[in-house]
Amino acid sequence: MGKKILFISLLTMGFTYSQTALYNSGNLRIHQEGQLGFHTDLVNDGPFDENVGLTGFYGTEPITISGALNPVLYDVEVVNDSGIWLETSLGVDNNTNFIAGDIITPRNNPAVHYSFFQNALTIGENNGSKVEGYAMLSGQGDFSFPVGDQAQLRPLAI
């Protein structure tokens, strides 16, 4: 009897799989001094916009951010050489720390962009870590967009 249960358990393990994305359909919030690290895709269909902590995007596989609602984060850290692919806009209120990997928006859809809000700033942008695609600024005067193509940072200052 025990061998049959073990055999059935081993057989069914091959048919199981793990979650491939974090799906938010409620209220998700990062509190002050809180930290949330993504190593998988984010599907955001719920409010995720009153954050005051750090959100990091890490790993070696591409991460896709999609969903019906646009996340607005406080501090963002990018450490993913394969890139962060936006299918919905993503905003930052405070700081984006570019360490490794690009934030990539679709070239055929300017409505999807990386948004820098009133107090947002960037550090660490370089040829290997920048916004590749569309970026937007809201509530600031002078700003240098950390944008570029696949191979090179080409900052755009206003």
Residue type at position 134: Y
Residue 78 has a pLDDT of: 98
Residue 12 has a pLDDT of: 55
Note whether residue 14 is domain-resident.
no
Note whether residue 45 is domain-resident.
yes
Residue 158 has a pLDDT of: 85
Residue listed under structure tokens 């299918």: 87
Note whether residue 8 is domain-resident.
no
Residues 62, 31: Cα–Cα separation, whole Å: 26
Residues 145, 153: Cα–Cα separation, whole Å: 10
Note whether residue 151 is domain-resident.
yes
Note whether residue 13 is domain-resident.
no
What domain range is 65 assigned to? 19-157
Note whether residue 102 is domain-resident.
yes
Q: What is the number of structural domains in the chain?
A: 1
Residues whose CB falls within 8 Å of the CB of residue 136, separated by 6 or more in sequence, listed in order: 89, 113, 114, 115, 116
Note whether residue 9 is domain-resident.
no
What tens-digit pLDDT sequence spans the chain (158 residues)?
556 555 555 555 555 555 689 999 999 999 999 999 999 999 999 999 999 999 999 999 999 999 999 999 999 999 999 999 999 999 999 999 999 999 999 999 999 999 999 999 999 999 999 999 999 999 888 899 999 998 899 999 88
Residue 122 has a pLDDT of: 97
Residue 9 has a pLDDT of: 55
Residue 4 has a pLDDT of: 59
Note whether residue 52 is domain-resident.
yes
Residue 18 has a pLDDT of: 56
